[in-house]
Amino acid sequence: MRLPGDPQPDPAVAGVVLAAGVSRRMGQPKLLLRWGGVSLLRRAAEAAVAACCRVVVVVGPDPDRMRAELRSLPVEVVTNPGYAEGISSSLRCGLRAVLDAPAILVALADQPAVTAKHLSALVQAYRSTGAPVVAASYAGTVGVPAVFSRELFPELLSLTGDVGAKGVIDRHRHEAVLVPVPEAAVDVDTPEDWV
């Protein structure tokens, strides 16, 4: 439930939630694991919906179970048939679904401590500065979640292999706006991360 004073979803920034990993190191579909009673997948999608009026969730293996987990949320679920290539293929797949957007917010479904407030703060920083990239800073690095303006779409579409958007952020670091999101350092990849 949205409370008075809560940020409103942005109509100009499309959310792209990357959720197509194979969970190789976890040994089970990690995005269906519960965090605070909600699956990692649904939690990430709900946060994106609170920050953006339009949200695409990119799934890979077991798309029917993933779609069922997102039932009733106002998101577009896109299946990435090339998910085995790595994260760049999911990023390209999600971006192609929202190419008409002025900007995109890229979020990962396995960063469960990242909330709607964090994503909204990134979107608001983008709207107030007009920077080509607004990225989260955490644990001595920068990365996603991050907002990318339309001018960077060609660079994101040119990514290949198992690499995400960090290289694009690094190339534009001199003009990037960084927003502290220490919670983005919580990344669920292995059973040890989950304990």
Strands 55-59 and 103-108: unpaired
4 falls within a domain: no
Rounded-to-integer distance, Cα 139 and Cα 47, Å: 22
The total number of structural domains that make up the chain:
1
90 falls within a domain: yes
115 falls within a domain: yes
71 falls within a domain: yes
Q: What is the domain range of residue 127?
A: 13-194
Rounded-to-integer distance, Cα 66 and Cα 86, Å: 18
Mean pLDDT of 77-97: 94
1 falls within a domain: no
SS3 state at 175: helix
Mean pLDDT of 40-52: 96
Residue 27 has pLDDT above 50, yes or no: no
The pLDDT mean for the chain works out to 89
23 falls within a domain: yes
Rounded-to-integer distance, Cα 192 and Cα 171, Å: 33
Among candidates 94, 95, 100, which has minimal Cα distance to 79? 94
2 falls within a domain: no
pLDDT-above-90 percentage for the chain: 73
Q: State if pTM tops 0.85.
A: yes
Confidence of residue 4 (pLDDT cuts 50, 70, 90): low
Confidence of residue 13 (pLDDT cuts 50, 70, 90): very high
Mean pLDDT of 129-151: 97
7 falls within a domain: no
CATH number of the domain that 162 lies in?
A: 3.90.550.10
Mean pLDDT of 11-27: 77
